[in-house]
Amino acid sequence: MAVLRPADAAEALNGLEAGLAARVLEAMPSPTAAQILDEPDLDEPAELIELLPVQAAAAILTGLQPDRRADIFRELSEPTRRALLPRLDAEIRQGLAELLSYPPRSAGGLMTTDFVSVPADWTVAQTLEHIHSVGRGKENVYTICLLDPKTKRLVKVVGLWRLVTGDPKATVSTAAWPYDPISVPPLTDQEEVARLLSKYKLLAVPVVTEHGHLLGIVTVDDVIHAIIEEGTEDVQKLGGSEALDEPYLKIDFLTLIRKRAGWLCILFLSEMLTASAMQFYQAELEKAIVLTLFIPLIMSSGGNSGSQATSLVIRSLALREIGLKDWWRIAARELPAGLVLGALLGVIGVVRIGVWQQLGLFDYGAYWPLVALTVGLALTAIVTFGSVAGSMLPFILKRLGFDPATASAPFVATLVDVTGLVIYFSVAYAVLRGTLL
């Protein structure tokens, strides 16, 4: 018996041209079509809804999980929304309006309003009976919210397994964990929700108002999607482009160019400062052309150490291993780390110049020991600067309200390149004044 799973059906539809996929959905019974549209891996569900006759679209939307319905609704065009809304039940319309009022990447935007809650003074058997009779889907039934019978505030959360393995005659609240429930306000960022679910190994987190009233629950499958999505964004930003928001092979060529050209141009314009710096030092360059040989080497070393430091700090910030207040602890590690790494590269650089000179592979001129000293000292200074600047930049961005991942490796490298040139020529001037310069 080969029955197609909804996730596989969604994947199959992804392979079809949109108009054809919409016709396939239309031909199905609407609950089956709704199951497929519930799959987060289905690309462009809103586009499919737009292509369906309004009656079929309304039937499918009605069958969706509330959180998914809101996600899709968010993407619909204004005319489609206006055509669809009157065809939905009043209750669904109201739920939709509520979910749409939260930002998409917040707990409120991720949550489903289709959950099980019972008064905390019910028995375990009564609760199980209730679940049996309402018969909801798995997303919503593994975490049962217990409400104060009077105030209706959330008082405890209990897992379905505790009910199944517990004493049927006991009060449901005694079957719950003794801890106060973990819950979040609706505006909590999805990264924070993911961190809580992961830390406390939960299958769902209740979302509550400031007065403790239950709004919905965020379930683990939505959070896994959110974690993977944030990871993709961080990697893409770290690589120096905007987040694509779509799979690489699905995104159209012009959008791909647009998402990359912005940062590339900004970096290019900033990097033009290196040309200005070089122009500024042109007199020195002409006198000591041997100095130009090491410019790419020295600049890239600063960029590399900076990109190491920035990626380590970005990830630690994302995982909340460190907070804004820890900036000085990071600086206190990166300064000595940069000095050690810089000195290491400096020594290798000096040895390289010495060996080449002694073996006669290249002639760095009469003052080659001073040139080697310049390169060694400049490497130490620039790698140290790279480590400190690369590690502090994410803090500065976060403090200013930007995503720290915007401190991409190329961004740091550019910053360090320009400063690196100034450091290099300053060191050269100090060491070589009176000889080469």
Q: Which of residues 190-229 bind a second copy (CB under 8 A)?
A: 194, 197-201, 203, 220-221, 223-225, 227-228
In the region spanning residues 226 to 245, those forming contacts with a second copy, defined by CB under 8 A, are 227-228, 231-232, 234-236, 238-241, 244
In the three-class reduction of DSSP (H, G, I as helix; E, B as strand; rest coil), residue 267 is classed as helix
Q: Which is nearer to a second copy, 63 or 159 (CB)?
A: 159
409-432 and 295-318 helices, crossing angle to 10°: 140
Q: Which is nearer to a second copy, 57 or 238 (CB)?
A: 238
Nearest to 166, CA basis, from 118, 125, 117, 121: 125
- Does residue 322 bind a second copy (CB under 8 A)? yes
Q: Which is nearer to a second copy, 97 or 257 (CB)?
A: 257
Which of 141-156 are b and which e, b meaning 16 or more Cβ less than 10 Å from the residue's Cβ?
A: bbbbbbbeeeeeebbb
Residue choice 253, 358, 360, 434 for contact with a second copy (CB under 8 A): 253
Please name the residue that has the structure tokens 């519930």.
38
Q: Which is nearer to a second copy, 27 or 293 (CB)?
A: 293
Tell how strand 143-147 and strand 214-219 pair up. unpaired
What does the alpha-carbon distance between residue 185 and residue 125 come to, in Å, rounded to a whole number? 31
Q: Which residues contact 169 (CB under 8 A, 6 or more apart)?
A: 123, 124, 125
- Does residue 404 bind a second copy (CB under 8 A)? no
CB atoms within 10 A of CB 29: 10
Q: Which is nearer to a second copy, 16 or 261 (CB)?
A: 261
Instruction: State the binding string over 47-86 for a second copy (x if CB under 8 A, else -).
Output: ----------------------------------------
# chain residues binding a second copy, by CB under 8 A? 121
What does the alpha-carbon distance between residue 428 and residue 1 come to, in Å, rounded to a whole number? 77
Question: CB-hemisphere CA count at 13 Å for 42?
Answer: 28
- Does residue 308 bind a second copy (CB under 8 A)? yes
In the three-class reduction of DSSP (H, G, I as helix; E, B as strand; rest coil), residue 71 is classed as helix
- Using an 8 Å Cβ cutoff, are 364 and 371 in contact? yes
Q: Which is nearer to a second copy, 210 or 286 (CB)?
A: 286
Shortest Cβ 60–a second copy spacing (Å): 19
In the region spanning residues 139 to 158, those forming contacts with a second copy, defined by CB under 8 A, are 139, 141-142
- Does residue 138 bind a second copy (CB under 8 A)? yes
In the region spanning residues 337 to 396, those forming contacts with a second copy, defined by CB under 8 A, are 337, 340-341, 344-345, 348-349, 352, 362, 383
- Does residue 164 bind a second copy (CB under 8 A)? yes
Near a second copy by CB under 8 A, which window of 76-84, 96-104, 105-113, 272-280? 272-280
Nearest to 69, CA basis, from 18, 112, 30: 112
- Does residue 312 bind a second copy (CB under 8 A)? yes
Q: Which residues contact 16 (CB under 8 A, 6 or more apart)?
A: 24
Instruction: State the binding string over 85-124 for a second copy (x if CB under 8 A, else -).
Output: ----------------------------------------
Write the DSSP string, 364-429.
--TTHHHHHHHHHHHHHHHHHHHHHHHHHHHHHHHHTTS-GGGS-HHHHHHHHHHHHHHHHHHHHH
In the three-class reduction of DSSP (H, G, I as helix; E, B as strand; rest coil), residue 146 is classed as strand
Residue choice 51, 154, 415, 421 for contact with a second copy (CB under 8 A): 421
Residue choice 265, 366, 396, 430 for contact with a second copy (CB under 8 A): 265
Residue choice 97, 261, 324, 396 for contact with a second copy (CB under 8 A): 261
Residue choice 137, 149, 365, 369 for contact with a second copy (CB under 8 A): 137
- Does residue 247 bind a second copy (CB under 8 A)? yes
Shortest Cβ 48–a second copy spacing (Å): 19
Q: Which is nearer to a second copy, 10 or 51 (CB)?
A: 10
What does the alpha-carbon distance between residue 173 and residue 273 come to, in Å, rounded to a whole number? 66
Near a second copy by CB under 8 A, which window of 26-34, 84-92, 270-278, 366-374? 270-278
Residue choice 78, 79, 248, 358 for contact with a second copy (CB under 8 A): 248
Structure tokens, 239: 């690589």
Q: Which is nearer to a second copy, 50 or 326 (CB)?
A: 326
What does the alpha-carbon distance between residue 351 and residue 357 come to, in Å, rounded to a whole number? 10
Calculate the alpha carbon distances from 213 to 45, 102, 183, 210, 249 in Å. Answer: 32, 16, 11, 7, 44
Residue choice 260, 354, 367, 368 for contact with a second copy (CB under 8 A): 260
